[in-house]
Amino acid sequence: MQANSPLGPEAHYQAQLNEGRFLIQRCNDCARHVFYPRVVCPYCGCAELLWVEAEGAGTVYSTTTVRRKAEAGGDYDVSLIDLDEGVRMMSRVEGPAPAEVKIGMRVRARVIDHQGAGLVVFIAEDEK
């Protein structure tokens, strides 16, 4: 499916997540991967962006702990993840305590159902 589908790139991305599939875009001209979904390639301006299955492996680039009261669900992690495809995305690392998530940690994507919608989260590679 092309980036300029009737759904639009963000809606198509979310629809695929809702089906359990983690897709990102790849430019047909310069072959670079693109994330967040767009209509044109931010590197070369090509309007032909193809949807490809993300490998899902990546590295924590940055991380922080969001503090919440226990009755509100407790603390959670927010991290920037550099995917091996060369794009960066914001998500969270699940499994280890938020303070245990470290820069440079290898992680793998997993699509979960979050309140009825697909969501990409990451787990530490050693916790597969």
Domain ranges of the chain: 9-53, 57-127
Q: Given this model, what pLDDT does residue 37 score? A: 96
| Torsion angle in degrees (nearest 10) through CA of 102, 110, 89, 75 | -50
Q: Given this model, what pLDDT does residue 1 score? A: 47
CB atoms within 10 A of CB 39: 13
Residue ranges of E strands in the chain:
23-27, 33-34, 49-53, 57-66, 76-83, 88-91, 93-94, 106-114, 117-124
Kindly report the pTM of this predicted structure.
0.87
- Angle value at C-alpha 61, between 115 and 113, nearest 5 degrees: 15
Contact 68, 75 (CB under 8 A): yes
Contact 72, 28 (CB under 8 A): no
Q: Mean per-residue pLDDT for 93-117?
A: 95
Q: Mean per-residue pLDDT for 84-99?
A: 96
Q: Given this model, what pLDDT does residue 98 score? A: 94
Q: Given this model, what pLDDT does residue 88 score? A: 98
Structure confidence by residue, pLDDT tens digits, 35-90:
999 999 999 999 999 999 999 999 999 999 999 999 998 999 999 999 999 999 99
Reported as a pLDDT band with limits 50, 70 and 90, residue 127 is low
Right CATH for 57-127 from 1.10.3470, 2.40.128, 1.10.150, 2.40.50: 2.40.50
pLDDT of 123 over the 50 cut:
yes
Between CA 13 and CA 31 the distance in angstroms is 19
Q: Given this model, what pLDDT does residue 126 score? A: 78
Q: Is 79 helix (H, G, I), strand (E, B) or coil?
A: strand
